[in-house]
Structure 1
């Protein structure tokens, strides 16, 4: 899997271009994890809570085990450090993902952005930019945000009820 990550992110010069109308599941995982790491790091504090949130989101949405999710997040962190901007990264994969996959990436990013309980202005800006770059409508993005907030609120209410 990690060789696929490397090859996807750093295409080797001179090699024939693979069929770019298709993508692998690994490419979706890589793209989503890297964008989630970017979102988590924007407020200047990438703590264990946010890292755990990304691992949890990857496990749940990709149906992978904890070790694989942790390795995916570690690799995404490395790639994020080397990235110049998100536009180049997104433009590499976005045209080859269908609309449902793009919505799933946005939903996952909202989960990570709200992992620390608040939306920082830099995170909000990133979400607007990614939304535009992925071709997701503002209304759809807003609906995803509300769904994530409702799930978080429902989870917090159930935790409060259980502790009483």
Structure 2
């Protein structure tokens, strides 16, 4: 209990979340769970998809390898327990601005394309999640087009 109190005050005074603890209200966990979901629609998380997920999370959230592995494990568990996307999208809507939500959709598209194939189920999930995140259809389609062409819209200036 003392450690929990100490962690709480450390997070409060540092102004940020601890990268080693991914609580249910952490937007990084919500984003990672959505990415896991689209990556596993056609099967289990393959080694190629897991490597892509690891790279995206480590790079975009500034985590080290161990913290990224912990986030992936937490995201897999959160996705397994979720009954719908709303718990994740609601948190992302509260936590991120429009550009942040657009970046989540871009990362999800990168996961969809990690295996080189887009199924109609993946496309449908992308449409539904983007809609719940208030990302306009034109942005969702443009992000898909850019990623399919091998460009990373997250590295391009906005």
TM-score (normalised: structure 1) = 0.74
TM-score (normalised: structure 2) = 0.77
Total equivalences in the alignment: 135
Q: Does residue 35 of structure 1 match 2:34?
A: yes
Unaligned runs of 5+ in 2: 1-17, 153-158
Corresponding residue of 2:11 = none
Does 56-65 or 34-43 show the bigger shift? 56-65
CA deviation string 1:62-100 (max 9, x = no partner): 222222111111110011111111123312331332001
Separation (CA, whole Å) in 1 of partners of 2:19 and 2:104? 20
Superposed CA RMSD in Å reads 2.0
Give runs of ≥4 in structure 1 deviating > 4 Å.
none
Unaligned runs of 5+ in 1: 9-26, 154-164
Separation (CA, whole Å) in 1 of partners of 2:20 and 2:46? 27
Q: Does residue 50 of structure 1 match 2:67?
A: no
**Which structure dedicates a bigger proportion of its chain to helix?**
1
Q: CA deviation at 1:123?
A: 0.7
